[in-house]
A and B are shown apart, each in its own frame.
Chain A
């Protein structure tokens, strides 16, 4: 058993919270540069230019690219040969979030109870998804998720008869109805299959993929491409003010499902496709 101390976990999470918010990945930058070439609307071009300038400025001055520094979604791949020592893994992740959000001057946006709505003051707790995987490493991905795009996400339990067409129509409909609210150009995370909660998690995990990297299965990659084309025909454009580029990419993940089920979840992500990972 390889040992990983919780103190290392907390340090890594704290660092990733800051990096994710300040330092837009090269994948997202490249996608914005491509979008700048493709966009025909003058207002849309101007907006994409501002987004690129904004991301550069955030990285240079080490300030958040967006004021909504999100709820910290943490994806943890726990190798089955890792022994976490020194305390609770979950406590360490939350301690990392507290430290990262404080030291990075990130906005604390988490309320402790959905009805009382009192801010916890430190952005904890994180939303954590664990997965046990082979190996002796711990992989941690921090994906700060802002509300503007999260609120426009949706899930539907389709029936097998709805098929691929039904799935595609639903995805396009969700993006169309979201319009300007999720801060387009967006990345569209789609989860198909499994059960209700599994589909939602697949959609979220799809957002952690490098922007524009196609699915390894060619038939799924083909669906992603068709969806992107349909979405970019909607005309919503950058910030919803009209244009060719409504989405930078569509990422779909699939999973086996029940004979009677066809769950589909759509998780929207603004252009600030923030995700940073560390392997301990």
Chain B
């Protein structure tokens, strides 16, 4: 018996190892309804919170804002508030991390269990799902939905091939968030709050452009011994504070390069193309991480405990260029005092890329009317709550003042010059940096992979790498034809 036990145990371990080795894969797959399957035909697969007498509307969050830790509980409150406000719809939210959301929704649509409402979602997010969204115009007409105080130009902006796939909800201009304490410590002047206003560097007035920003950022980058990046003793392997980051807008070079020069990366002949300004942006970015005087966190720095993925909010990064939605995620304990400045110029031109978010209803929904009811609540009665959660500037002019008051109260006693965001709106980029590309899923991926390489590979021949990228991207464009 003992002997057998030994045999058994060794086999057992073999078996368990097989399980582990195969990532836990039971080889035989599955069965349809069948005598044995019927044993668990009654398995509860409904969500445990489902209420049978209500229509369930699934709300998918993650393609744009909304998946940040600070936002999730607030959204949950919003859902509860809506569910309590009426008795025939149950709103269920699905939050998916931004990194995975697009892939996840794709698979979900393919699996035939698409959600009903998606959002907030920007132009880029919508572009991944051409033809997947419902034209809202018939519902707007049916419910007599009031759109009178929305700028008609905005309504036009949200149309896709003549179909109104979303009502304008929130706009997110961008600006430079800066940590005033870190500027004080370095004895540097704050960056300007007006476009065209110069920056005072070493007593002299200089243009507030990306070169100036880089110089300021170098002085704000400090190693453990207190040397800044311009010092000869600077130890770039032991940086404890960084000068600048494209806060959460750097994964794809297409995103941050729009601050230098907006350009649609497809040439007339269908090949991939970057403008001179975009190439400059990429080189500037690469040099900011791997040059002799680095000031921008690399991927390794982003993943380190020092920054933990949220650079400006860590209090260890002096400036973050990003959109208004970033107010979601600034940790007040780490960054008690901050303000915003205008986007620096490039070749004398200022470009402040913009995000415009909305909600969309998927055309596979079984309950378009109920979905639209939720939708009107989101953009109407409940909109103030949502603007506060997402930090979005209301597209309806009448709501903007209230929005800024709410933000100011949230960050008090710190005082922020919110008007900077309004001043940036006229400088939005044309063409948009989120316009759909050919073979979008793969071409977007190629941009992300390129970005990842820039952030993690110190030894690149940058010109050769850009050329390589364009070749790859052209091949991806052409695959779609």
Q: Do A and B bind each other?
A: no
Listed in ascending order, the chain A residues whose CB lies under 8 Å from chain B are none
Listed in ascending order, the chain B residues whose CB lies under 8 Å from chain A are none
